[in-house]
Chains A and B, each alone.
Chain A
Amino acid sequence: MGDLIRFRDDETHEEPAVTLDSFLEQANATTVRLEPTDDPRALIPYLDRLSLIEVSFPKFRDGRGFSTGAILREAGYAGELRAAGDILVDQINPLRRCGFDAILSEAEIDRDVLAKLGGLYEDVYQKTVDGRAPLWARRNAGTHG
């Protein structure tokens, strides 16, 4: 349960996510739920068959999931990457920069605040998995298109 916000156009995946251990025991599961202590790289052999990876955020202060998301996208995962749990509206932009394209928040997310925050920053300093050109690339566009 919770407030689901998706930043992708495909249909919502209905199959319930299973734990990493259960996923690794099954031959055909297409969804998995990672806890902060799970190693996302255990999923690398199966990324093609996965359509939803849910990453658990038990407390908003626990930032391990940010690395989990980035690692999965760096490894080429293209399915839905959902951050689920105790998530503040102010964390949604950084989550998206780490590759998350769906948020399942325990508390309702204020859409007005989200919209306002989404448009605040035109540019970013770092290269991440979200594909945005970092400022060092924009500034030196003559040499690094």
Chain B
Amino acid sequence: MYRYDDYDQAIVDARVEEFRDQTRRRLAGELTEDQFKPLRLMNGLYLQLHAYMLRVAIPYGTLSGRQMRMLAHIARTYDKDYGHFTTRQNLQYNWIKLADAPDILAQLATVEMHAIQTSGNCIRNISSDQYAGAAADEVEDPRPWAELLRQWSTFHPEFIFLPRKFKIAVVACEEDRTAVKLHDIGLQIHRNENGEAGFRVFVGGGMGRTPMIAPVIREFLPKENLISYLEACLRVYNRFGRRDNMYKARIKILVHELGADEYRRQVEEEFLHTQTLGLDAPAEEYARIAAGFAPPTFETDLPNEIDRSDPDFALWLDSQVAAHKAPGYAIVNISLKPIHGIPGDASSAQIDLMAELAETYSFDELRITHAQNVVLPHVKKSDLYAIWQKLDAAGIGTANLDLISDIIACPGLDYCSLANARSIPVAQKIAQRFADFERQRDLGELKIKISGCINACGHHHAGHIGILGVDRKGEENYQLSFGGSGAEDASLARIIGPGFSEDGVVDAVEKAVTVYKSLRSDGERFLDTYRRVGDAPFKEAIYG
């Protein structure tokens, strides 16, 4: 993993002092809430329904056991003994006191962590593939580029008051585990016809009230031009993105209104200029950062066989463990979706346990996924049984990866001041309805995503089944949509018909699943069947 040098540490430490003074000025009344708001937001501090919420960045979703333990320590000391992992590889604390925030940031800084730009109209935490460095099919590890972008975007003076927030993801596989086309900028490392690796650049994707799949704005960008090209992309957006209406301020609207061709033309024109400014870090700097992501020293001649004699373990194995590029190793997905739990929540004790498992079994590395789960990226197959036993004892041994109960849900009206409806109870009721794991496994991959308002933090547009909570005449009402995907086959879900009550939407999901079971052909997922047969049979079953 990349470790801070003295320069990185000094910048994060300075940020703590800067924020401490901003907080002091606010508490002393020298700053109005209106003036303080953009400052605290740029440090991940939101005022929610009941308390302040602090969003901590986990850059590209990678962290060490020590960092994970600090997250547990903060949850225990300053919050209610748990944290919430988000769809952007961040961790949120829901019950923070403003006066404590500077101390929390100071403690995070001791383990090379921060909350810089986890909110506000600036470049947010750079996200990446949770299997980076472990997947067999990646062109290269995308994280050195993500770290280069973390540094470039940190306090970038030109881009801290953008029209709206700005999210960047970096991947290096064709298989997409990051929803790369649903980001403001998605960068996909691939090889051109000459075998050289470079970036395919998607611009203008996103969810929210106007979901868009990003068009390719540049098919191949030489790696050494990454910064100067992104400066051009961002500058065109900063100058011409809409500022008259916050709901039309994301870059997807600019790209859509200009058209991809015209946006591309403007970026290329600006890029001709930005290339002359010497903005790109030299190869030596990339090499310095990449050295921090050197693969661990994998043991050779390890056994590939796994003892499957414990049936519960075998089920977990089939569900949660993915292939690793090194023989004898595996990737472990830890589900934060127990049937009666809150999607993405983990207690301090569970966070500590995951830290311990990483230290003992996974070269001291953990990953956070956009589906709100945790990954141990480099585990010996011979250790899997021991790991499963410990996870199971701690209540995080659920075997439901990508199944119907592995639900993405935003915090919703239980926490969020923007929400119109609760998300968590809907997720819990669906999980309980399908609690029988045999039934879940029979249904196969089925991604349900729930948002409590139109801002779509729960990715409902990208759900095989998407659920959007709205307020209808003071009542929570849930709209159901089908056919979305955040993966390499990205698509946007379509609303099936009128909305439902909380219990009604659970019934409707069950009816849809029954239709799928009756119509599916061999090997078809829910999404495949829906794409093949269309809305009609589902509508008939739900509303007929």
Q: Are A60 and B161 in contact (CB under 8 A)?
A: yes
Q: Tell me the residues in window 121-142 of chain A with beta carbons closer than 8 Å to chain B beta carbons.
A: 121-128, 134-136, 138-140
B386 interfacial by beta-carbon distance below 8 Å: no
Chain B hits for A139, CB < 8 A: 5, 7, 285, 288
Q: Are A67 and B238 in contact (CB under 8 A)?
A: yes
Closest-CB distance, B229 to chain A (whole angstroms) = 14
> Which stretch (B14-22, B351-359, B450-458) binds chain A?
B14-22
B282 interfacial by beta-carbon distance below 8 Å: yes
- Contact among A36, A88, A117, A136 for B281, CB-based, below 8 A: A136
A113 interfacial by beta-carbon distance below 8 Å: yes
B284 interfacial by beta-carbon distance below 8 Å: yes
The interface size of chain A toward B, counting residues with CB under 8 Å, comes to 40
Q: Tell me the residues in window 8-37 of chain B with beta carbons closer than 8 Å to chain A beta carbons.
A: 10-11, 14, 17-18, 21-22, 25, 30, 35
Q: Are A125 and B155 in contact (CB under 8 A)?
A: yes
Q: Are B157 and A126 in contact (CB under 8 A)?
A: yes
A98 interfacial by beta-carbon distance below 8 Å: yes
> Which stretch (B64-72, B73-81, B271-279, B470-478) binds chain A?
B271-279
Q: Are A61 and B38 in contact (CB under 8 A)?
A: yes
- Contact among A70, A88, A123 for B158, CB-based, below 8 A: A70
- Contact among B17, B163, B284 for A120, CB-based, below 8 A: B17
A11 interfacial by beta-carbon distance below 8 Å: no
Q: Are B277 and A74 in contact (CB under 8 A)?
A: yes
Q: Are B157 and A95 in contact (CB under 8 A)?
A: yes
A49 interfacial by beta-carbon distance below 8 Å: no
Q: Are B239 and A64 in contact (CB under 8 A)?
A: yes
Residue among A60, A67, A97, A136 having the largest count of chain B Cβ atoms under 10 Å: A136
- Contact among B152, B157, B162, B273 for A98, CB-based, below 8 A: B157
Chain B hits for A120, CB < 8 A: 14, 17-18
Q: Are A97 and B7 in contact (CB under 8 A)?
A: no
Tell whether A127 pairs with B155 under 8 Å between CB atoms, given A61-B161, A139-B288, A144-B284: no
A90 interfacial by beta-carbon distance below 8 Å: yes
- Contact among B5, B151, B239 for A67, CB-based, below 8 A: B239
How many A-B contacts are there with CB distance less than 8 Å?
A: 104
A94 interfacial by beta-carbon distance below 8 Å: yes
Tell whether A135 pairs with B151 under 8 Å between CB atoms, given A61-B38, A98-B157: yes
Residue among A63, A67, A123, A139 having the largest count of chain B Cβ atoms under 10 Å: A63
Chain B hits for A116, CB < 8 A: 21
Chain B hits for A97, CB < 8 A: 157-158
Closest-CB distance, A116 to chain B (whole angstroms) = 6
Q: Are B158 and A62 in contact (CB under 8 A)?
A: no
- Contact among B156, B239, B243, B284 for A140, CB-based, below 8 A: B284
A143 interfacial by beta-carbon distance below 8 Å: yes
Closest-CB distance, A64 to chain B (whole angstroms) = 6
B154 interfacial by beta-carbon distance below 8 Å: yes
Q: Tell me the residues in window 154-176 of chain B with beta carbons closer than 8 Å to chain A beta carbons.
A: 154-163
A135 to B148, CA, bound (A): 11
Closest-CB distance, B144 to chain A (whole angstroms) = 13
B235 interfacial by beta-carbon distance below 8 Å: yes
A93 interfacial by beta-carbon distance below 8 Å: yes
A134 to B227, CA, bound (A): 13
A92 to B163, CA, bound (A): 19
B139 interfacial by beta-carbon distance below 8 Å: no
B527 interfacial by beta-carbon distance below 8 Å: no
Residue of A whose beta carbon sits closest to that of B31? A88
A85 to B155, CA, bound (A): 22
Residue of A whose beta carbon sits closest to that of B274? A74
Chain A hits for B266, CB < 8 A: none
Tell whether A63 pairs with B285 under 8 Å between CB atoms, given A90-B39, A120-B18, A135-B151: no
Identify the 5 closest CB pairs spanning chains A and B, nearest first: A63-B161, A94-B157, A97-B157, A136-B281, A136-B285
Q: List 22 A-B contacts (CB under 8 A).
A: A60-B35, A60-B161, A61-B121, A61-B161, A64-B239, A64-B243, A66-B238, A93-B157, A94-B157, A98-B158, A113-B21, A117-B21, A120-B14, A120-B17, A125-B156, A128-B157, A136-B281, A136-B282, A136-B285, A139-B285, A140-B284, A144-B284
Residues of A within 8 A of B (CB): 36, 60-64, 66-68, 70, 74, 88, 90-91, 93-95, 97-98, 110, 113, 116-117, 120-128, 134-136, 138-140, 143-144
